[in-house]
Amino acid sequence: MKSRSWWLALLLAIAAPLLAATPDMPRFQWQSFTVANGLPNDHVFCVLVDGERIWAGTENGLALYEGGKWKVFGTADGLAHRAVLSLALDKRSGDLWVGTMGGLSHVSAGRIDTYNQLNSGLSNDVVYGVAVQGDYIWTATAAGASRLNTRTGQWSLFNERNTPMYEIWTYGISVGPDKVYYAVWGGGVLEYDIKTERWKDYNDPDGETEIVLFKDQGLIHEITTSVSYIDKVLWVATYFGDSRYDGRNWHNFMAKDSGLPSNFTNQVKALDANRAWFSTDKGLAYYDGTNWAIYRPALDTGKPEMYVRDADGQITNIAVDSAPAHNYVLAVDFQGNDIWVATAKGLSHGIRNK
Amino acid sequence: MRLGSTTILRSGLVALIAAMLVITCSVVRAPMANADAAEARYLSPGAMLFSPDGRRMYVVAERGDQLLILDAKAQTVSARIAVGHAPRGLAISPDGTRLYVTNSWDDTVSVIDTKSLAAVQTLVTGAEPTGVVITRDGKTLYVANRLSDDVSLIDVASGQEIKRLMAGRGASYLALSADGKRVYCTHVYPKITGSRTLPQSEITVIDTDRQIVVDRIPLHNVGGVFQMALSPDGKLGVAAQLRPKNLIPLAHVEHGSVFGNSLALFGPAVSGVVQVPLDELDRYFAMPYSVAMTSDQSKLYVSTGGSGSVTAISLPKLLSFVRSAPKDIGNDLSASANYVTSRIPVGANPRNLLLSPDGKTLYVTNRMDDTIDVISTRTDKVVSTIDLGGRKDYNALRQGERIFYATKYSFQGAFSCANCHIDATFDGIQWDLEPDGFGKDIVDDRSIEDLSGTEPFKWNGGNPNMATECGPRTEKFFYRSQSYSAEELANLVTFVMALPVRPNRYRLPAGEMTASQERGKTIFNRAAYKDGRPIPKENQCAYCHSGPKYSNNQLFDVGTGKATDRSPKIDVPHLPNVAYSAPYLHDGSARSMEEIWTVFNPKDTHGVSNDLTKDELNDLIEYLRTL
């Protein structure tokens, strides 16, 4: 009996660390680009991966990384404005659509055509978001949504007059095969059904407080910044936490009850129905459906930092020697297993090493 | 038994009737039956190609709405196949079993079975499909759409359009590289770059593997660009083009100061783009259209539609000259002496060129004669002419059309009506016309579709009728000649005034309107501001833009006059197909319809627009596009 207890104790001693092992989260070697090595500006609003080519939208131009070199496009090249806020790739044509502070630009094999509120039907020159849906180019502007039919040239505007959009400051777009979603800053989320051409809104469920009163009650907050729709699941970023909606149930994430490093989220970009990346003001966060991983320069020391939060809230620091360029993260895009991260102080390439 | 002469005569007559019956029956069996009243129509032949075995020639007849089948050896028309309206482009599958004909006014491609000579399928394209090529594997059709400014990619197996790629303005002609990896597209209109700027064009380059645009070769100071030839070694492309001299007054015809009829050479053989003139110091070879290159790359041929000739060029001499010449030779009228070897007179308005498979013969379609001239490439002389049939008499319309495209009426044959009015439309360019005085009344080239009932003409309404517009004014100030006879002028006027309006692609098939168009129509017709105050009659859209052509034919000051204009009063333009004729306003200062009101109407003098929301302005424009 005594011998059996000793063996059981030994087994537990061996198994315990294994049972409590740190979740295997993606690890990266980070390389960063700034003005010092070719970017036109360190303030990078957006990033887009097109195969081996990387497009970065900065405060002072559009930059293309190709063959180890940066090429910069500015207003002298026809770009609508120097501040590039959003990017979308038309995978069918290979053309790039660029949302700027001064209109929408269309980049095709080096040629740049620009649409603005004076020369076209675009509703407003401040284009926060852009997305491609077949022959349509959807834009999120400071005065509602605009849709360009590239075959006919017709512009359709969507705003408070023809949708449930009670705020017209549209911020982000995500397009799926059946739906188009808009993040409306101060106006929740709008859903456009491609088949029925009808709009539906998602707002704070009580209609008064802008924020949910009870966890998972509904959309977490009215001030939405980004949407990501994939596998019929909608992810929403706000300045007060983030939401996931599967068509029936909402699940909300806040810093206090999840691994989010901050409630202030600039972008959410999902990999699938369960996994998503969050760009916050306090670092880049990855959620695998259970566990969280945070990548950033440490808020106090600025040294590279990565930590993992498991389902039980257990936090484990991972030793790393590199991190994204800054903890104020604005956007990400994926290149295979790698990730590109737009920050307020440079563009970072996360090279997956595990 | 001895037969009498009467019997012989009777027997011969019977035999003749029998023979005629056989011929008639064969004609009936042939697809001619589909081409109704084929003999009564003009044909206006264009695109040509050979069957893979070289036995047949296929020729598109744009005016005849037909595809003609020729016996290549006998050089006679053996069948006619009815296709869609205004066919322009032609391609053949690599195995020779299918022909593809673009129907430019139907926005379709007719697929013809070359065995049965029957149309077996109709494919849908963009607006005004013109040029067409098929990939080497026969799987993908590329179609250049002139009015939608793009290229349709059509999956041959399914007949479905896969995607459209943005090209340039007036995308029209395509060429497939020798290795099949690239499709090149040219454009008959320049980009819209702003009033009084040099025109800019491009050659759009599409990768056939990736099916995306991979390059846009810039063509500086170039307006209309037409057909191309690509070298077998893949190192050289040659495009026929116009170089408008629109920043100087249209006054010095004698110095080549109106148009440069030229070629754009592009590719590794010339390290970029080099533009070379076709003209001479005292002779012009206007409206270059088609280019053919011999397989040994020794010769180039260029049809010059306005001058009724084909120019033969020594390609080695041309390349040698280009490599040793000063950088910018585009306007050097002495240059052509270094590489042009002959000018071959052919029929009226020569267009498409086609070399025989053995390279010994060059064919050129004479669009206004309904013939094909056959040229020996050894002697560079016409050796025979193929009559394609069609109507033989030249009525006033046809006579007028021949005059419209001919340069012989202008000094030294410099240019014709068609130089500015590409294929009887417009050129998208602003000109300083000399009759008004140098630097005065800079005007945008207006569309000439559907002109009947829209007098007076000119932006300042200075010409009370078309005879004045086309006659003394054109002859004296533009052509520097007075060569029209009274009959010729009458015929030209007849032709211009009868130009039809192209199909409008913004209208729904049954004629109903979209909700946006309906709202726009209400705005167009409104008589009150949104706050209820009445809009003065003269400031209502529908007052000036009234009647069947949306013009009351009067002059108004709508606040768009410039300091260079002699009068701020502008002729109210007619609006049919206004969607296609950007830029807008009398001097082309509005690059889009939106800019008419967002930029050039700050005081509501050109209609009331400043109380409109952006949605409502978009609605108004959607309605205007249907006119």
Shared domain check, B547 and B483: no
Mean pLDDT, range B455-464, rounded to an integer: 88
- Least confident window among A248-262, B154-168, B460-474, B575-589: B460-474
* Per-residue pLDDT, B265: 98
Shared domain check, B601 and B528: yes
Shared domain check, B578 and B614: yes
* Per-residue pLDDT, B395: 93
* Per-residue pLDDT, B26: 29
Among partner residues A108, A155, A162, which is closest to B213 by beta-carbon distance? A108
Mean pLDDT, range B284-300, rounded to an integer: 97
Chain B interface includes A143 (CB < 8 A) = yes
B557 pLDDT exceeds 90? yes
Among partner residues B163, B615, B622, which is closest to A154 by beta-carbon distance? B622
- Is the model more confident about B202 or about B27? B202
For residue A162, the chain B residues in CB contact (below 8 A) are 615
Q: How far A194 CA sits from the closest chain B CA (Å)?
A: 18
The SS3 call for residue B110 is: strand
For residue B601, the chain A residues in CB contact (below 8 A) are none
The SS3 call for residue B299 is: strand
Closest CA to B307 of B366, B377, B391: B366
Closest CA to A156 of A122, A182, A187, A131: A122
Residue B429 lies in a domain: yes
Each residue's pLDDT tens digit, A143-165: 999 999 999 999 999 999 999 99
* Per-residue pLDDT, A3: 57
- Least confident window among A21-35, B12-26, B195-209: B12-26
* Per-residue pLDDT, A207: 80
CB count in 10 Å sphere of residue A12:
10
For residue A151, the chain B residues in CB contact (below 8 A) are 126, 148, 150, 164
Shared domain check, B526 and B481: no
- Residues in Cβ contact with B207 at an 8 Å cutoff, skipping those fewer than 6 apart: B181, B182, B213, B214
Contact A156 B506 (CB under 8 A): no
- Least confident window among B3-17, B147-161, B243-257: B3-17
Each residue's pLDDT tens digit, A298-348: 999 999 999 999 999 999 999 999 999 999 999 999 999 999 999 999 999
Shared domain check, B404 and B483: yes
Residue B557 lies in a domain: yes
Chain B interface includes A121 (CB < 8 A) = yes
* Per-residue pLDDT, B28: 28
Q: Which residue of A has its CA nearest to B168?
A: A111
- Average pLDDT in chain B: 91
Contact B213 A95 (CB under 8 A): yes
Chain B interface includes A93 (CB < 8 A) = yes
Contact B615 A94 (CB under 8 A): no
Beta strands in A203-258 (DSSP E): 224-230, 233-238, 241-245, 250-253
* Per-residue pLDDT, A8: 62
Chain A interface includes B215 (CB < 8 A) = yes
Chain A neighbours among B 405-464 (CB < 8 Å)?
A: none
* Per-residue pLDDT, B475: 79
* Per-residue pLDDT, A10: 61
Residue B30 lies in a domain: no
CA–CA dist B480, B407 (Å, integer): 12
Chain B interface includes A111 (CB < 8 A) = yes
Cβ–Cβ < 8 Å for B426, B445: yes
For residue A110, the chain B residues in CB contact (below 8 A) are 215-216
Instruction: Indicate the pairing of strand A127-133 with strand A53-58.
Output: unpaired
Residue B265 lies in a domain: no
Mean pLDDT, range B496-519, rounded to an integer: 93
Instruction: Indicate the pairing of strand A315-318 with strand A329-335.
Output: unpaired
Contact B163 A93 (CB under 8 A): yes
Mean pLDDT, range B75-91, rounded to an integer: 96
Residue B155 lies in a domain: no
Return the residue matching tokens 């959607």: B622
> Where residue B120 falls among pLDDT bands split at 50, 70, 90?
very high
Q: How far A121 CA sits from the closest chain B CA (Å)?
A: 6
Return the residue matching tokens 């053996």: B78
| Tokens read off for B254 | 């004698």
Distances (CA, A) of B491 to B63, B401, B422, B464: 18, 8, 19, 18
- Least confident window among A165-174, B9-18, B210-219, B271-280: B9-18
* Per-residue pLDDT, B440: 84
* Per-residue pLDDT, A20: 59
DSSP one-letter code for A347: E
Instruction: Indicate the pairing of strand A69-73 with strand B150-155.
Output: unpaired
> Where residue A15 falls among pLDDT bands split at 50, 70, 90?
low
Q: Supply the CATH number for residue B615's domain.
A: 1.10.760.10
Sheet-wide strand order for A96-100? A84-89, A96-100, A103-108, A111-115
CA–CA dist A324, A267 (Å, integer): 16
Mean pLDDT, range B53-70, rounded to an integer: 96
Burial class from Cβ neighbours inside 10 Å (0-12, 13-18, 19+) for residue A272 reads exposed
> Where residue A7 falls among pLDDT bands split at 50, 70, 90?
low
Chain A neighbours among B 148-167 (CB < 8 Å)?
A: 148, 150, 162-166
Return the residue matching tokens 């009659």: B537
Q: Which of B445, B465, B497 is the last residue in one of the domains?
A: B497
Shared domain check, B523 and B485: no
- Least confident window among A315-324, B31-40, B543-552: B31-40
Q: What are phi and psi of A283, to 5 degrees?
A: 120, 170
Contact A109 B614 (CB under 8 A): no
Q: Which of B497, B529, B558 is the last residue in one of the domains?
A: B497
Domains contained in chain A, CATH given: 24-352 (2.130.10.10)
Residue B547 lies in a domain: yes
Shared domain check, B537 and B467: no
* Per-residue pLDDT, B188: 98
| Tokens read off for A346 | 């440079």
Q: What are phi and psi of B538, to 5 degrees?
A: -65, -10
Residue B143 lies in a domain: no
* Per-residue pLDDT, A13: 56
Each residue's pLDDT tens digit, A201-225: 999 888 888 888 888 999 999 999 9
B588 pLDDT exceeds 60? yes
- For residue B153, give the amino acid letter: L
Closest CA to B242 of B372, B415, B380: B415
* Per-residue pLDDT, B25: 29
Mean pLDDT, range A115-124, rounded to an integer: 97
B499 pLDDT exceeds 90? yes
Contact B216 A108 (CB under 8 A): yes
* Per-residue pLDDT, B519: 97
For residue A95, the chain B residues in CB contact (below 8 A) are 166, 212-213
Shared domain check, B520 and B615: yes
Q: Which of B497, B531, B558 is the last residue in one of the domains?
A: B497
* Per-residue pLDDT, A213: 86
* Per-residue pLDDT, B12: 43
Mean pLDDT, range A279-299, rounded to an integer: 98
Report percent pLDDT > 90 for chain A: 90
CA–CA dist A86, B474 (Å, integer): 52
Length of chain B, in residues? 627
Chain A neighbours among B 592-621 (CB < 8 Å)?
A: 592, 594-595, 598-599, 613-615, 617-618, 621
Residue B563 lies in a domain: yes
Each residue's pLDDT tens digit, A21-76: 788 999 999 999 999 999 999 999 999 999 999 999 999 999 999 999 999 999 99
B37 pLDDT exceeds 50? no
The SS3 call for residue B40 is: helix
Each residue's pLDDT tens digit, B160-199: 999 999 999 999 999 999 999 999 999 999 999 888 889 9
> Where residue A4 falls among pLDDT bands split at 50, 70, 90?
low
B4 pLDDT exceeds 50? no
CA–CA dist B577, B593 (Å, integer): 12
Q: Best mutation site among A120, A148, A163, A168 for testing chain B: the one with the most B CBs within 10 Å? A: A120
- Residue contacts between A and B (CB atoms, under 8 Å): 74
B2 pLDDT exceeds 90? no
Mean pLDDT, range B43-52, rounded to an integer: 97
Shared domain check, B460 and B433: yes
B246 pLDDT exceeds 50? yes
Residue B446 structural domain: 398-497
For residue B126, the chain A residues in CB contact (below 8 A) are 151
B369 pLDDT exceeds 50? yes
For residue A94, the chain B residues in CB contact (below 8 A) are 210, 212-214
Cβ–Cβ < 8 Å for A305, A298: yes
Shared domain check, B619 and B527: yes
Length of chain A, in residues? 354
How many domains does chain B contain in total?
Answer: 2
DSSP one-letter code for B478: I
Q: How far A306 CA sits from the closest chain B CA (Å)?
A: 40
CA B95 from chain center: how many Å? 30
Return the residue matching tokens 């020996």: B376
Q: What torsion, rounded to 10 degrees, do the Cα atoms A247, A250, A254, A258 define?
A: -90
- Is the model more confident about B154 or about B10? B154
